[in-house]
Structure 1
Amino acid sequence: MLDERQAPRALGSLPPRRPRAATIGCYLLLGAGYLLGSLWLQRRALADPGGVLIGHVTADADMFAWWLNWLPFAMAHGENPLLTDWMHWPFGLNALWNTAVPLLGVLLAPVTVTAGSIAAFNVGVVLGPVVSGLLLVAALGPFVTSTGARGWIARGAAGALYAFSPFHLAHAVAGHLNLTWSVLPPLLLLLAHHLFGRGPVARPWLLGGLAGLAFAGQLVLYTQTLAIGVIVLVLTAVLLALRYPRRVRAQLPGLFRAGVACIGVFAVVGAYPLFLVLAGPNRPRSAIRNVHATGADLANVLVPTRMTALRLTPDVTGEQLRGHIGEQGGYLGLAMLALVVVAVVVVRSTVLRVLAAVAALTWLCSLGTGLVLFDRETGIPLPWLAFARVPLLSDVEPVRIQIITALCVAAVVAIWIDRMPLTSPGTRAGALALTGFALVSWLPADAQEVRPAPVPEFFTAGAGGLGPADVVEIYPRITAAWDDGAQGLRWQAASGPDFRMRGGYFIASDPDDDVVVQSRWNRYQIGAQWVADGKNDPSDGYAAEANAELRRLGITAVVMVPGRAVDGGDEDRVVDWTRRVTGDPGRFDGGAWLFRLPVAAPVG
């Protein structure tokens, strides 16, 4: 369906082959450049990669580190890597409903086993943009007509734009490991070329099978990106069918065969993960988020955050955008928008115009169900409202569709650099100036952050004799709160894990609640917070009730880590309260207090 009348070759054909060594050399050079850029941005983690976590916005970094630790542990101990009851015991967790990144758990397992899950997380955040950028470089091969230096400059610039786009910068500072690995969108670009290129689909069974493998891989990387990718692929097909209705009939047989192969391979390879998503245990029984509150802020398209180096607006303006900085990755800017518009008008390329149209549509979808401007609801409904009540799709956060917009913009820039007019000095100067301004406008700021990730020696030195039969209550309570709310997850992971936990930070359900997202309050934790806040000591009766509740919940020990309470407070009183509840004077060792208590029959 795509038509390149002005190109020297059709999109369905392949570019002339460059010598293999030269091609490999170009990829190595670009990969080294992207890696150096990523290392520079995250250099604050290099001095102590096992002692700090990249990102300083949410508790997600600790959660990712926990899951990276879980997969090799589970495989080494005969556990199911996609189900666990070592957190949220005894109900357990479904990895496919959590951002468990099993695929990255496998890829990063050597780092996890040798250097720990904190280091593995940091390595993953550094490598994610590099791999994503290189995949776009590869995917752009059929779209960039120049085979010399100009072609590689075009593809390399686009790969850098994608790798270090405002989207990736935002999610890196949020510690969103899964979203720094945006590998599916470039593969979808290449897939769209082979599916919708001019002429019948070549080798549809093979193509469909490879697409099925890619979708299955994304299923065990991050399901939201899979859903977004499929929606955008269908959207692109519809867009092309409306533009070229006479070519639809010729394409249908190949598309049908490729679709059958894709669905077949995906159903076989991804059967068990897909079962866990649709009908597996411990999945949430209702929507896990409010879809109406997860759209992008309209102002972000022109207002950058502190993650972008060149900002024409005051920093305080960026702070007025909806959401936290980790979800404010939709910046395009005037210079980049101008470049896209000029490219659409000047370059006679159907592919470029389709990419620009998809960029516009995905940007519109990323705004969510209603228009928001500087965090204010305008009451204007938007297209994503159609998905608000669709099962599963209603859990997609539309703000994260911005990754497709970033990909399309980067691809448009590649085609523009490849074909921009350089015939006259005036035209050349204008084209180069506009291109330079646009590229510079996306330069990342030196604003990536890390936060200390200390682990008390108690957990790294055997966890006081705790074992797999133990179920531990940790104080400070594990929550989704920023500023170390989920630090208990990294403590448990650092121990092996050697013990199970009742609480945690996760997405799940239990017999009483359709959705649970963090460790639950119990009388012990309520009393601990009460005394830490300086209030009167709970009564002996309440202490007895707290003891009975812990025993009923199956808790065999309480571990209290002083000096690590998120909200501070009088921790000496917390130690006394824990003694009253457990009946154990406790033992302080390796920076933590351990209190043992006998356990009754646990709750089912």
Structure 2
Amino acid sequence: MRGGRAWLGLAALLYLAISLLLQRRVLGDFDGSAIGRLSTDPTGFTWWLAHTAHALTTGTNPLVTDLQHYPVGVNALWNTAVPLLGVLLAPITFTAGPAAAFNTGMVLGPVVSGVAAAAALGGIVRSRAERVTAGGLYAFSPFVLAHLQSGHLNLVWAVLPPVLLALAHRLFVRDLRRPWLLGALTGLALALQAWLYTQTLAVGVLMLVVLALVLAVRYPHRAAARLPALLKAGFACLVVFAVLAGYALYLVLAGPARPRGPLRSPEYGSADLANTLLPTWLTAIRPVPAPEMQGNLGEQGGYLGVAVLLLIVLAVPACGTAARVAAVTGGVAWLLALGPQLFVAAEPTGVPLPWRVVLGVPLLGEIEPVRLQGVVTLAVAVLVGLALDRFPRPVALVAILAVVSWLPADAQRTTATAAPAFPQLAGQVVETWPRITSDWYGGADPLRAQIASGFGYRLTGGYFLGSDADHPVLIESPWNRYQAGAAWSELVAGPWRGFGHLPAPDADAAARDLRATGTTVVLVVPPPGHDPSPVLDWTRRVTGSAGVPLEGAWVFPLAATLQR
């Protein structure tokens, strides 16, 4: 494609300008704040980026670690570890810090995704300007905006769907002259995604199969003629994927510390039908306030709106085969994204939906169906590009209205990332209070202190997906009796002051729990405005140590001497 690099470069600069404008609040403090309204998920991603860089310099395994949830450890491939981005962003992690690396990834994710979408439309949409418009619509869609606000680095890098679209166009539609090469490129794309985020990999494979079936039904004779070449491509794809991502697949299927049961209710990740017509406050034009919807804010990115629905109605009969295939494939993805039963304004209706068929399929059943909305977004981008490029003026005008209806609001937020460092704890196994939790606001803050300390110590707690001998599925380390006693002491000294006559927790049993995990030090970091005395007294009873004040915190050695 002559001039291809130049126009894609201009598109990248345009998308980068938009991304920087949306995230301008973080630019003045790039390593002291993180993109996202909540803190826990940005903290988790920052921890994994820092851990990957740490592993590169120490020669340790970046994919299985006991730096949190000690001694069981954590399996990176069952978590949002984004190891591929960890390696690519490592120079920024080393020089500017892990929070700056996270913010860089959040700014660049939509840019790269948009460029991939614009490039993928090269064989479908003739005009470069329309491709750039469609790519921008995909890059800053309600789906991406929602995950930007939630700090989901893995999902704002929505690169695989447009890459698979480009490959599928060559595999299923254009002249298939080099099936081995195209199959190998498909295997490469899937392998790279395996090292980025496995759920998007599963979504991509599922929708690639759906697209193949849609085209086979539409053109059965062509499908039969292409079958031998597609089998060659499929074999090449599997070989390349096995070589490049075999270890990742092992970690998912049989690796240590992996979950041994369903991660959550399959209905947790269902899209809400109301979100199809009503945007959240992340979209600039909101005709009416959005009601409560199923799922958290990060999963409420399925807005289509009246203009987009009207575009679909007009484009399907007027815009040719490409539009019809995009509409059908996007429609299948939209229906599957609604999950196993229909939700309307957060209320379950009991109406069964096709996703129920997928629930028993290994790995596919673990997909949060709402994530299929990224494919719906790509289908809309294709329809907009086609309508602007070559079809009747009324359809093009509706496409313009669709683009305007998706304009993002100036609503992106940041959270602080500052954390104390405790280099004195080098070599220790640390129990923290407050404990590490999955709470959206501050629950994972002790992980930031560990990053600031250069991973010099291990944590018995953690925020992760995994398991242990007693719990087939965990999203955070389980409670122990030390933590229960610390919570009891705060309650009795605070809102439950009148219940001080209740039996106190057993300090000796709490100490045994700590020693069973190999804990050598208890670190108490009093939250601002809280009286730390009850927890400090309880910790003294458990550890037998008076405690050492350290950087606004207290350190209580349990079974090893604190290094000074």
Q: Equivalent residue for 1:79?
A: 60
Tell me the SS of whatever aligns to 1:190: helix
Q: Equivalent residue for 2:148?
A: 172
Matched, 1:579 2:540: yes
Describe the superposition over 1:47-91 as per-residue Cα deviations: whole angstroms up to 9, x where unpaired.
111111211246211111110011111121111111101111111
Q: Equivalent residue for 1:323?
A: 295
Query: Matches of residues 307-322 of structure 1 in structure 2 within 5 Å?
Result: 307-314=282-289, 318-322=290-294
How has the CA–CA distance of structure 1 residues 530 and 143 changed in structure 2, closer, same or farther, with 3 Å as cutoff? same
**Is the 8 Å Cα contact of residues 64 and 73 (structure 2) preserved in structure 1?**
yes
- Residue among 335, 340, 346 paired with 2:318: 346
Instruction: Report how far residue 449 of structure 1 moved.
Output: 1.1
Query: Matches of residues 515-534 of structure 1 in structure 2 within 5 Å?
Result: 515-533=473-491, 534=493
Describe the superposition over 1:405-425 as per-residue Cα deviations: whole angstroms up to 9, x where unpaired.
00111011111111023xxxx
Q: Equivalent residue for 1:409?
A: 380
Q: Equivalent residue for 1:357?
A: 328
How has the CA–CA distance of structure 1 residues 541 and 142 changed in structure 2, closer, same or farther, with 3 Å as cutoff? closer
Matched, 1:496 2:460: no
Matching residue's letter, 1:100: A
**Is the 8 Å Cα contact of residues 116 and 494 (structure 1) preserved in structure 2?**
no
- Residue among 228, 239, 247 paired with 1:264: 239
**Is the 8 Å Cα contact of residues 464 and 594 (structure 1) preserved in structure 2?**
no
Instruction: Report how far residue 454 of structure 1 moved.
Output: 2.0
CA distance in 2, matches of 1:177, 1:278: 24
- Residue among 132, 138, 151 paired with 1:156: 132
- Residue among 343, 346, 371 paired with 1:400: 371
Aligned positions, number? 555
**Is the 8 Å Cα contact of residues 315 and 395 (structure 2) preserved in structure 1?**
no
Q: Equivalent residue for 1:332?
A: 304
Q: Equivalent residue for 2:407?
A: 443
**Is the 8 Å Cα contact of residues 166 and 308 (structure 1) preserved in structure 2?**
yes
**Is the 8 Å Cα contact of residues 527 and 538 (structure 1) preserved in structure 2?**
no
**Is the 8 Å Cα contact of residues 302 and 373 (structure 2) preserved in structure 1?**
yes
- Residue among 441, 466, 471 paired with 1:508: 466
**Is the 8 Å Cα contact of residues 341 and 350 (structure 2) preserved in structure 1?**
yes
- Residue among 475, 478, 485 paired with 2:433: 475
CA distance in 2, matches of 1:144, 1:417: 9
CA distance in 1, matches of 2:81, 2:186: 22
**Is the 8 Å Cα contact of residues 212 and 262 (structure 1) preserved in structure 2?**
yes
Instruction: Report how far residue 36 of structure 1 moved.
Output: 1.0
CA distance in 1, matches of 2:490, 2:92: 38
Instruction: Report how far residue 431 of structure 1 moved.
Output: 4.5
Matching residue's letter, 1:209: A
Instruction: Report how far residue 118 of structure 1 moved.
Output: 1.3
**Is the 8 Å Cα contact of residues 130 and 163 (structure 1) preserved in structure 2?**
yes
CA distance in 2, matches of 1:184, 1:243: 25
**Is the 8 Å Cα contact of residues 71 and 460 (structure 2) preserved in structure 1?**
yes
Q: Equivalent residue for 2:124?
A: 143
Instruction: Report how far residue 539 of structure 1 moved.
Output: 6.6
CA distance in 1, matches of 2:59, 2:124: 47
Q: Equivalent residue for 2:425?
A: 466
Matching residue's letter, 2:302: G
CA distance in 2, matches of 1:433, 1:141: 22
Tell me the SS of whatever aligns to 1:292: coil
Structure 2 gaps of 5+ residues are none
Deviation >6 Å, runs of 4+ = 537-541
Instruction: Report how far residue 96 of structure 1 moved.
Output: 0.6
Tell me the SS of whatever aligns to 1:372: strand
How has the CA–CA distance of structure 1 residues 310 and 540 changed in structure 2, closer, same or farther, with 3 Å as cutoff? closer
Instruction: Report how far residue 249 of structure 1 moved.
Output: 1.8
Matching residue's letter, 1:164: F
Tell me the SS of whatever aligns to 1:67: helix
Structure 1 gaps of 5+ residues are 1-16, 146-150, 422-427
Cα RMSD after superposing both structures? 1.7
- Residue among 530, 542, 556 paired with 2:520: 556
Matching residue's letter, 1:546: A
Q: Equivalent residue for 1:290?
A: 265
Tell me the SS of whatever aligns to 1:270: helix
CA distance in 1, matches of 2:508, 2:40: 33
Q: Equivalent residue for 2:109?
A: 128
How has the CA–CA distance of structure 1 residues 389 and 547 changed in structure 2, closer, same or farther, with 3 Å as cutoff? same
Matched, 1:544 2:508: yes
Among the aligned pairs, what percent are the same residue? 51
Describe the superposition over 1:522-581 as per-residue Cα deviations: whole angstroms up to 9, x where unpaired.
1111111112222539878712222232122210001111225xxx75322212222222
Instruction: Report how far residue 293 of structure 1 moved.
Output: 2.6
How has the CA–CA distance of structure 1 residues 503 and 342 changed in structure 2, closer, same or farther, with 3 Å as cutoff? same
